[in-house]
Structure 1
Amino acid sequence: MEEKGMAKPKTALADVLEKSMIAADALERKDLIFTYKGTVYPTTLCTPEIFKAMDSFEARRDDVILAGFPKSGTNWFGQILSDLIALAVKNNKNEIHHHSDMPEEFPYLEIGDPEKYERMKKLPPRRLIRTHMAPQNLPESIFKNKAKILLLLRNPKDLAKSYYHFCLVFSPFPSYESWDGFFEDFMAGKVPWGSYFNYLSEWNKYIGSENVMPISFEEVKENTYLGVKKIVEFFEFSLNEEEIHTVVQRSSFQSMKKNSKDTHGAFGDLLFRKGGVSDWRNLFEEKHNLEMDKMYKDHLAATTLGTRLKYEVYCKA
């Protein structure tokens, strides 16, 4: 039974993913990706036309932006934010819009058709907008209009392993015959959405903004209640303790995996595989550890976001 005020299961996500998988099945591996302004993207999910049209997107100050590299937890945190927004809207007596009455839109800003930005103008507050994009590629209005951004972090070794397994089953992404082959492309930024290390380096430039709050996959895994409470305070959602606890309970990995058929259709099993911490140890060999440790040291160790990753805790061989 659906809890009162909670976000209802959506189908746009499953619809777009299904169409992209069907289209991907007809393409050669080399044609599954294209490069736009130096970054690799999946052909059946993104297009140059979408990126050009995205410039017209006008962010609102009360938009809820969820930014995270693929496999950093955007589906998990998206569920948390959807529930928080639904409850906050229910509690707002001045809220005249009803989210349930509005046609849904695919939740990722850079995925869909070029006309989506025009349709998004009609969406009621507060719009939840997810993105895998680096900040320099996002519409300027997000920063100019001071929309708040929740920035997801995940230790790069777990992220790489999760990304590898996802590529093996998700046909819009190029698959790999071996972990070594994937690791080489991942480290070179040749996977969809590019280099995770460059991604974090670019976001680090925005870390001093009061409108950007980094939060890590690992810290919310360790204490989901505290993590959700931080998110509530950052976005200034009007929720009581009981409502926060309800969202926490619904956002457990077990609960989301169980409900994934409703929320993500046949793709639930693909999107919710393990959701664990330190699972990378089952795949990384010494050569992989040495290469990634050096990459971290050279690009992230001296940065604020690099420190927030707690690399020594979660990525020590």
Structure 2
Amino acid sequence: MEKSRNISEDFIQKAMAAANSMRRDELLFSYKGTLYPTTICSPETFKALESFEVRSDDVILAGYPKSGTNWLSQILTDLIAISQKKTPGSESSLNAEEQKEIAYLEVGDAKKYERMTRLPSPRFLASHLRPENLPKSIFKNNAKILLLIRNPKDVATSFYHFSNGIVFLPSYETWNDFFTDFMTKKMAWGCYFEYISEWNKYADKENIMTITYEEVKENPALSVKNIATFFGIPLTEEELQLVLERSSFQSMKKNSDKTHGPIANALFRKGGVSDWKNLFSEDQSEKMDKAFEEHIAGTKLGKKLKYDLYCKA
């Protein structure tokens, strides 16, 4: 048990130590035209991921970095526990190996996929990857995917603070420097507008449910109910309340040392909406408005983001 518990913790600790000794320009590498963090992703892992066999009953979360994926991960892992007639948060709700394997498909060592074949169903899988970079088996086996999207201005704001709080990513002396990189496709996991644009091609598929960070924030109870229905997980009112309580920002931040260890502080900052207004200049706001119009405004996902409501001052 001790061995499996330390799989991800050891990996993260080693990755942090390695990143600490790297120059800024060494922290990211390019794979098939997209940048990724050198110490937590690798070409070998990406190659091995291609042949990873996703099961039809896997519970998958897709979302660009800083879209709220840690929040939705909490909700989904609790729903899985409930589907297995276990109490979320209890020691028995997940076996140690399952609990400590890194859920993000592209993060970890190349041998993780072999270990993951031993995990019981349903497995929880997450990814920041664009659809064309995911294993083909996801779409072949019709696994259900919850696609999480968030207004681009808050994504950029959260990503800026995250980059300055975690050693895996290049840090920035100024917001202006970060904004330039964000708008010129120099971010880990690539351009957010391209991410939305690529996922838009899959938006009408029956096995994909799209939800926005803002709608979960606005009505958490309804959102959790809809997510549970999509994955075919029956919920009692008592179970719903437990999931809501455990996934509140205050609760997750309080437990973050236990759940996320050494990277906890970088992951839980504000958890709000419209923080972008504290950073964006008028010129930057207009530049992002223009990029949104050009890339995704008329698409199904673009409309779902309610850009005028959340991104216009």
Q: TM-score, normalised by structure 1?
A: 0.93
Q: Point out where structure 2 has 5 or more consecutive residues left out of the alignment.
A: 87-91
Which residue of 85, 95, 112 maps to 1:100? 95
For the pair 1:207 / 2:203, whether they are aligned, the reply is yes
Paired residue for 1:133? 129
Indicate the residue corresponding to 1:231 in structure 2: 227
Amino acid at match of 1:187: M
Which letter maps to 2:71? W
Partner Cα distance (1:291, 1:13) in 2: 39
Tell me what 2:189 maps to.
193
Consecutive unaligned residues in structure 1, runs of 5 or more: 1-9, 92-96
Task: Tell me what 1:3 maps to.
Answer: none
Would the alpha carbon gap of residues 101 and 17 (structure 1) be closer, same or farther in structure 2, given more than 3 Å must change? closer
CA contact (8 A) 2:106 2:127 kept: yes
Please report the RMSD computed on the Cα atoms of aligned residues, expressed in angstroms.
1.6
Residue 65 (structure 2) aligns with: 70
Partner residue, 1:83: 78
* 1:30-49 correspondence runs (5 A): 30-49=25-44
Alpha-carbon deviations, 1:103-154, whole Å to 9, x = none? 5311110011111111111110010001000001000000000000000011
Distance 1:215 1:114 in 2: 31
Secondary structure of the equivalent of 1:130?
Answer: strand
User: Partners of 2:262 and 2:190 in 1: how far apart?
Assistant: 27
Distance 2:228 2:199 in 1: 22
Among 154, 159, 164, the alignment partner of 1:168 is 164
d(CA) in 2 for partners of 1:297, 1:236: 36
How far apart, in 2, do the equivalents of 1:28 and 1:266 lie? 21
Q: Report deviation, 1:12.
A: 5.2
User: How far 1:179 sits from its partner (Å)?
Assistant: 0.6
For 1:258, the equivalent position in structure 2 comes to: 254
Displacement, 1:16? 3.1
Partner of 1:27: 22
Identity %: 57
Instruction: Give 1:13 deviation, angstroms.
Output: 4.9
1:34-87: CA deviation from partner (whole Å, max 9, x where unpaired): 111111101001100101111120010100010000000111100111111011
Q: Contact 1:11 / 1:265 at 8 angstroms: preserved in 2? A: no
Does the residue aligned with 2:84 lie in a helix, a strand or coil? helix
The DSSP-based 3-state class of the residue aligned with 1:215 is strand
The question of whether the paired residues in 1 share the 8 Å contact of 2:81 and 2:93 is answered with no
Task: Determine the C-alpha separation between the residues in 1 that align with 2:45 and 2:32.
Answer: 13
Task: Report the 3-state secondary structure (helix = DSSP H, G, I; strand = E; otherwise coil) of the residue aligned with 1:169.
Answer: coil
For 1:311, the equivalent position in structure 2 comes to: 307
Question: Stretches of 4+ moved more than 6 A in 1?
Answer: none
**Amino acid paired to 1:285:** S
Asked if 2 retains the 8 angstrom alpha-carbon contact of 1:67 and 1:133, the reply is yes
Partner of 1:286: 282
Aligned residue pairs total 304
Deviations 1:256-306 (A, max 9, x none): 001111111132221000011001000000111011000000001010000
Deviation at 1:188, TM superposition (A): 1.3
Alpha-carbon distance between aligned partners in 2 of 1:139 and 1:43, rounded to the nearest angstrom: 20
Cα distance in structure 2, aligned partners of 1:121 and 1:180: 44
Moved more, 26-35 or 259-268: 259-268
**2:237 alignment partner AA:** E
